[in-house]
Amino acid sequence: MLTGAAGQLGWELQARLSGLGHLTSFHRAELNIGDADAIRLVVRRLRPDLIVNAAGYTAVDQAETEPEMAMRVNGAGPGVLAEEAKRVGAALISYSSDYVFDGNSTQPYTEEDRPNPLSAYGRSKLAGDQSIASVDGSYLIFRTSWVYTERNRNFVLAVLKLAKERAELRIVNDQVGAPTPGSLIADYTSKIIAGAREQGSNCSVAEVLRERRGLYNLVCGGQVSRYEFAKEVLRLFLPQNPARVVPVPSSEFTKSARRPSFSVLSTQKLEHTFGLKPPPWQVTLERFAAGMRNHVAPVKEIPGPGA
């Protein structure tokens, strides 16, 4: 069972999970993760072996004026999914965010580091992590950052759009992270599920994953500022574009929600547990650019909340 199938990550997951077994996918209009009764009704009817939750309230700035809605979708909803998964003997896989940290670290954050979110969005994602863990079921939470795909709203597509409209792009140079394509997250998720299925010939996927349950960082290797990342995006996608990229501080932009200045995440736990070592962000961006050039897919924007 996949939720949030129309979102950035859900779209990538749907393509990969369909080959692992019978998949039932839900868009926001079909299943609102902020509706606890709807979740219970659907899970008890389907009785899936595995629930993959890619739904979420993703409008970071808007969450400052709609904190209750963000908390309902990102905080309470995953907890209800975890409860219902445990009730029917299923495993739950869900996704978290680097925005649970304040960015004051100078070393990559590990899964054991104490979160301190700066925004309503970050607080809602942390609440979701905590609500899943408190159920004590079979679960995996993958914490990721700076996600981009061929569709929806993300930094890569925004840079490309603006570069075609403006001669100069002003990009913040005091936010550092690890850009991660949704395709990588979906690939690793499907590999982990496939591995659990192979391992669980005499037991359920939930039983196999329960032995490895917990929170894992899943991001690309390395780190880069938004400014340097934008320059690389333009180099790969629009080498003939004359747009100039100018580094500026975050204070130049008026945003409702504060972003962590440093949100690099360590993937050592993921590598040790599952044997998956994410490639550097430069490698995945080059692959992404090559894929976009080889097939010009339509870029479809979908509203952030509940995507």
Q: Which residue numbers are catalytic?
A: 121
Instruction: Take residue 118 and report the two structure tokens written for it.
Output: 């700066």
Q: What is the rounded CA–CA span in Å between residue 277 and residue 118?
A: 29
Q: How many of the other CB atoms lie within 10 Å of CB of 23? A: 17
Instruction: Take residue 162 and report the two structure tokens written for it.
Output: 């603006």
E strand or H helix at 137: none
82 and 132 Cβ atoms separated by less than 8 Å: yes
Question: What is the pairing mode between strands 147-148 and 224-225?
Answer: unpaired
Residue count of the chain: 307
E strand or H helix at 287: helix 281-294
Instruction: Take residue 35 and report the two structure tokens written for it.
Output: 């509706």
CA 233 to chain centre: 20
DSSP code per residue over 29-73? TT--TT-HHHHHHHHHHH--SEEEE---B--TTGGGT-HHHHIII
37 and 81 Cβ atoms separated by less than 8 Å: no
92 and 3 Cβ atoms separated by less than 8 Å: no
241 and 234 Cβ atoms separated by less than 8 Å: yes
Instruction: Take residue 9 and report the two structure tokens written for it.
Output: 């990550």
DSSP 3-state of 208 = helix
Q: What is the rounded CA–CA span in Å between residue 287 and residue 181?
A: 10
